[in-house]
Chains A and B, each alone.
Chain A
Amino acid sequence: MTAVFDPGAAAAQATDAILADTLHGTARGVVVDSPPGAGKSTLVVRAALELADAGRPLMIVAQTNAQVDDLVLRLAEKSPELPVGRLHSSDADPYDKALDDLPNVRKSAKAAELAGLSVVISTAAKWGHVKVDEPWRHAIVDEAYQMRSDSLLAVAGLFERALFVGDPGQLDPFATVGSEQWAGLSYDPSASAVTTLLAHNPDLPQHRLPVSWRLPASAAPLISDAFYPYTPFRSGTGHDDRRLAFAVPSDGSGPDRVIDEAAESGWGLLELPARHTPRTDPEAVRAVATVVRRLLDRGGAATSERSSDAAPLTADRIAVGTAHRDQAAAVRAALAELGVTEITVDTANRLQGREYDVTVVLHPLSGRPDATAFHLETGRLCVLASRHRHACIVVCRAGVSDLLDDYPSTEPVQLGTLVKFPDGWEANHAVLARLAEHRVAWRP
Chain B
Amino acid sequence: MSLIATLARLEAVHTGRAQPAATVRHRHLSDRPLVFVPLTTAGEAGAPLGALVGTDRDAPHLLVVPQPRDRDLRFAFLAELADVVLPYIDTHADAVEAAERNETDPETGKRVKVEVELCADAPQLIVPSRAGVDYVRLLGRSMRFRRTADQDPETPYPAPPRVPLLGRWLTHFGERARVPGSSLLLAMTDVLSRHWATGQSTLEDQHLGALLAWIAPPEGETGAEAALRAELARDREGQLLWPPAGPATDPAFDNKLLAPAIDRYDRARTALAAAEDGLEADDRLGDLTAAEREIRALVESRTRPTWDAVWHGLDLLRSHLPEAGRHVEERWTRDRWSFTGHRDRVLAGEPPQPRRDDAVTAANKLSAREREQARLEAQEALDDPLVMAGRRLAGEAFAGEVTEVVMAYSEGKRPSPRPLVTVRTDDRPHLGERAKVFRSLGGKPQAAEFVGYEETLGKDGNDGENGPGGEDGGVLLVLRVLDKMGRGKEPEAGSVPEKGDRVCFTLFEHEQRGGAKLPEPEETPWTHGGPPGEQVPEAADPLTEEDVL
User: Which of B358, B362, B482, B527 is close to A200, meaning CB atoms less than 8 Å apart?
Assistant: B527
A328 to chain B, nearest CB (A): 8
Q: Does A29 contact B (CB under 8 A)?
A: yes
> Which residues of the partner chain B approach A181 to less than 8 Å between Cβ atoms?
178, 357
Q: Are B527 and A336 neighbours in the complex by a CB distance under 8 Å?
A: no
Q: Does A176 contact B (CB under 8 A)?
A: yes
Question: Closest B-chain residue to A28, C-beta based?
Answer: B526
Q: Does A224 contact B (CB under 8 A)?
A: no
Q: Are A329 and B374 neighbours in the complex by a CB distance under 8 Å?
A: no
Q: Tell me, in angstroms, the Cα distance from A211 to B211 when the chains sit together.
A: 56
Residue-by-residue, is A119-143 near B (CB-CB < 8 Å gives 1, otherwise 0)?
0000001011101000000000000
Q: Tell me, in angstroms, the Cα distance from A175 to B482 when the chains sit together.
A: 31
* Known A-B contacts A128-B516, A326-B395, A336-B469; A177 and B366 likewise in contact (beta carbons under 8 Å): yes
Q: Are A177 and B369 neighbours in the complex by a CB distance under 8 Å?
A: yes
User: Which of B362, B434, B525, B530 is close to A189, meaning CB atoms less than 8 Å apart?
Assistant: B362
User: Which of A127, A153, A201, A339 is close to B360, meaning CB atoms less than 8 Å apart?
Assistant: A153
Q: Does B445 contact A (CB under 8 A)?
A: no
> Which residues of the partner chain B approach A14 to less than 8 Å between Cβ atoms?
none
> Which residues of the partner chain A approach B305 to less than 8 Å between Cβ atoms?
none
> Which residues of the partner chain A approach B3 to less than 8 Å between Cβ atoms?
278
Q: Which of A177, A196, A333 has the most CB of B within 10 A?
A: A177
Stretch at the interface among A101-109, A144-152, A227-235, A420-428: A144-152
Q: Does B236 contact A (CB under 8 A)?
A: no
Q: Are B366 and A189 neighbours in the complex by a CB distance under 8 Å?
A: yes
Q: Does B467 contact A (CB under 8 A)?
A: yes
A261 to chain B, nearest CB (A): 30
In the complex, which residues 424-468 of chain B have their Cβ closer than 8 Å to any Cβ of chain A?
Answer: 428, 430, 434, 465-468
A426 to chain B, nearest CB (A): 27
Question: Closest A-chain residue to B514, C-beta based?
Answer: A129
Residue-by-residue, is A155-167 near B (CB-CB < 8 Å gives 1, otherwise 0)?
1110000000000
Q: Tell me, in angstroms, the Cα distance from A155 to B528 when the chains sit together.
A: 11
> Which residues of the partner chain B approach A152 to less than 8 Å between Cβ atoms?
527-528
Q: Does B518 contact A (CB under 8 A)?
A: yes
Q: Are A341 and B466 neighbours in the complex by a CB distance under 8 Å?
A: yes
User: Which of B178, B362, B394, B526 is close to A156, meaning CB atoms less than 8 Å apart?
Assistant: B526
Q: Does B359 contact A (CB under 8 A)?
A: yes
Number of interface residues of A (CB under 8 A): 46
Residue-by-residue, is A312-332 near B (CB-CB < 8 Å gives 1, otherwise 0)?
000000000000011001001
Residue-by-residue, is A289-324 near B (CB-CB < 8 Å gives 1, otherwise 0)?
000000000000000000000000000000000000
Q: Are A187 and B523 neighbours in the complex by a CB distance under 8 Å?
A: no
> Which residues of the partner chain B approach A179 to less than 8 Å between Cβ atoms?
366
Q: Does B517 contact A (CB under 8 A)?
A: yes
> Which residues of the partner chain B approach A175 to less than 8 Å between Cβ atoms?
366, 370
Q: Are B525 and A186 neighbours in the complex by a CB distance under 8 Å?
A: no
B380 to chain A, nearest CB (A): 15
* Known A-B contacts A185-B362, A332-B467; A128 and B517 likewise in contact (beta carbons under 8 Å): yes
* Known A-B contacts A157-B523, A157-B525, A329-B395; A128 and B515 likewise in contact (beta carbons under 8 Å): yes
B369 to chain A, nearest CB (A): 4
> Which residues of the partner chain A approach B529 to less than 8 Å between Cβ atoms?
186-187, 200
> Which residues of the partner chain B approach A325 to less than 8 Å between Cβ atoms?
430
> Which residues of the partner chain A approach B158 to less than 8 Å between Cβ atoms?
none
Q: A residues touching B (Cβ–Cβ < 8 Å)?
A: 28-29, 92-93, 125, 127-129, 131, 149-157, 175-179, 181-182, 185-190, 193, 196-197, 200-201, 278, 325-326, 329, 332-333, 336-337, 339, 341
29 contacting pairs across A/B (C-beta < 8 A): A29-B527, A92-B482, A150-B518, A152-B527, A153-B363, A153-B527, A154-B517, A156-B525, A157-B519, A157-B523, A175-B366, A177-B366, A177-B373, A185-B362, A187-B359, A189-B363, A189-B365, A190-B366, A196-B527, A197-B527, A200-B530, A201-B526, A278-B3, A325-B430, A326-B394, A329-B395, A329-B430, A336-B467, A341-B465
Beyond contacts A153-B528, A336-B469: 18 other A-B pairs, Cβ-Cβ < 8 A, are A150-B363, A153-B359, A153-B363, A153-B524, A153-B527, A156-B525, A156-B528, A176-B374, A177-B372, A181-B178, A182-B357, A185-B357, A188-B362, A189-B367, A200-B528, A200-B530, A333-B468, A333-B469
